[in-house]
Amino acid sequence: MLRLGLYGGSFDPIHHGHLIVARQALEDLSLDRVIFIPAAESPFKQNHSCAPAADRLAMVELAVQAEPAFLVDALEIHRGGPSYTIDTARAYHTRYSGDALFFLVGEDHIPALPRWNEFEELGRLVKFVILSRSDLPMKLEYPVVRRRLDLSSTEIRNRVANDLPISYLVPEKVLQYIQERKLYRGRRVSERMS
């Protein structure tokens, strides 16, 4: 029986924080693989992705190239429209019937989890695991994978928009891709979000 970590998200852009907590989940949960599943469009962030889905997918593929336990699945991008986790969970449940599916969720999604589409059914198909990049105490019914990191995609987009370097925040190949494609350029921003 395989133990698969399904790691969905916008990955706008993917950064070292995503990769480090994925590695921590792989080890803490004894996973066979972590599968990164970039969203075509988040139902909670509709029309808010800064980079097109094809670019976000390409950056994830570049970021995980050197890690054999990390895979990328473009399922949600090929499906298009808002990416509902229930649809992805059903596809994986069919594809990997009998295997253990863990859905890796950032701690910033905890308040919205009960509002996710068909949440009860989703809970029957996958086991939620919370990825925490803070030391905040949490009383949850789900396992928590912790790795203290203060890094966010929003911060990276803001740094690029303000002509600040993002070296060491993203993998080198992702940095080159962002520069070559001139992603996240535009109006200068100062707000910092997680």
The Cα–Cα gap between 179 and 115 comes to 37
* End-to-end CA gap in the chain: 36
Q: How many residues does the chain have?
A: 194
Of 34, 3, 41, 4, give the one whose Cα is nearest residue 19: 34
Position 5 scores a pLDDT of: 98
User: pLDDT grade, residue 49 (50/70/90)?
Assistant: low
Percent of the chain with pLDDT over 90: 77
Position 48 scores a pLDDT of: 58
Domains of the chain in start order, with CATH, are 3-150 (3.40.50.620)
Q: Which residues contact 83 (CB under 8 A, 6 or more apart)?
A: 8, 39, 40, 41, 42, 43, 76
Q: What is the mean pLDDT of residues 33-53?
A: 81
The Cα–Cα gap between 85 and 4 comes to 15
Burial status of residue 92 (CB atoms within 10 A of its CB: 0-12, 13-18, 19 or more): buried
- Specify the higher pLDDT residue, 8 or 48: 8
Quick check: 64 pLDDT over 80? yes
Position 194 scores a pLDDT of: 34
Position 75 scores a pLDDT of: 97
The Cα–Cα gap between 5 and 170 comes to 21
Summary mean pLDDT of the chain? 91
Quick check: 165 pLDDT over 60? yes
